[in-house]
Amino acid sequence: MYDILIVGGGTAGLTAAIYARRAGKSVLVLEGTAFGGQITSSHLVENYPALPAVSGLEYAQALAGQAKALGAETKFGKVTAAEETPEGFKVTAGKKEYEGRALILCTGASHRKLGLPNEEALTGRGVSYCAVCDGAFFKDKDTAVVGGGDSALQSALFLSNVCRKVTLIHRRDAFRAQEAAVKAVEGRENIELVMDSQVTALHGESALTGVTVTGKDGTERELAVSGLFVEVGQAPDNGAFAHLAALDEGGYFKAGEDCLTGTGGVFAAGDCRSKALRQLTTAAADGSVAATAACGWLDKR
């Protein structure tokens, strides 16, 4: 029986483990793929305070090492079920079960991809899923954004302040974003709108050199861009915990900045919860808040 079970070993989960261990609680972190989360695939992280230039893998290894050095236990295993018990909570990962008095959900969210050949190989080499993270690498260069929601338009606006030109590609004839964002995009001279079109091919071997854009009528257009920002949504994997923590219409946990889920002893932190900004810094903040809240909840029992 652990004091705190943490589901997910990304920035939020490992930060929660650090704070919980410093508060003297026993902690188990369960991770299904790689400790550190999605950031491990980033070649360079430049927007984390005090770490101006570090690879995502180095960052993740340092964070996991810090949590382990403080005494947090870590195990690989994708949690597929969770339930409340008289003593707290029980989770199932593979064929094993683990129990804890409190539960912190840090399940993250994965970026939806285009599903094109070469996409994986060019990720981090021109293909990106975060303009705020990687936009500065494309200063004074030509880039493109795929998507039609608020995130896509905000990314295009952000990039237009950095890049020479931004092409915004959307598969429909109208955007799904707020009207203010649409007007702002339409008013930027260096943003070109390409509607009723999709990216159908990525070009380049060691780095992205361009993309093929195919219109609804079948016409093709080649764009020479060094950066492609994919903003077609994210997919949280929270279904297994919906009975313990309510989800919003997008599948994210309904938890605010306090990381409370509405179920005593259950907390949500990081990209898996409803929030405006999903970054390493906000995930770390969530982890510290959730762990502190969990420790406070345990101390009152």
Condensed to tens digits (0 to 9), the pLDDT of residues 17-53 reads 999 999 999 999 999 989 998 888 676 788 899 998 8
Who has greater pLDDT, 173 or 276? Answer: 173
Residue burial 94-126, b: 16+ Cβ < 10 Å; e: rest: eeeebebbbbbbbbbbebeebebeeeeebbbbb
The answer to whether residues 47 and 30 touch, using CB atoms and an 8 Å cutoff, is: no
Outline where 126-268 has alpha helix (H).
131-134, 150-160, 179-186
Who has greater pLDDT, 92 or 39? Answer: 92
Of all residues in the chain, what percent carry a pLDDT higher than 70? 99
Determine the pLDDT at residue 235.
86
Q: 64 falls in which pLDDT band (50, 70, 90)?
A: very high
Q: Is 295 a residue of the active site?
A: no
Terminus-to-terminus CA distance in the chain, angstroms? 15
Condensed to tens digits (0 to 9), the pLDDT of residues 245-301 reads 999 998 999 999 999 999 999 999 999 999 988 899 999 999 999 999 999 999 998
- Longest Cα–Cα distance in the chain: 65
Active-site residue (options: 3, 106, 130, 286):
130
Active-site residue (options: 3, 106, 134, 286):
134
Q: How many residues does the chain have?
A: 301
Q: Is 130 a residue of the active site?
A: yes
Of all residues in the chain, what percent carry a pLDDT higher than 90? 85
CA-CA distance, 89 to 65, in Å (whole number)? 26
- Write down the pTM of the prediction: 0.77
Active-site residue (options: 133, 163, 259, 272):
133
> In the chain, what are the domains?
2-110+234-300 (3.50.50.60), 113-230 (3.50.50.60)
Determine the pLDDT at residue 52.
85
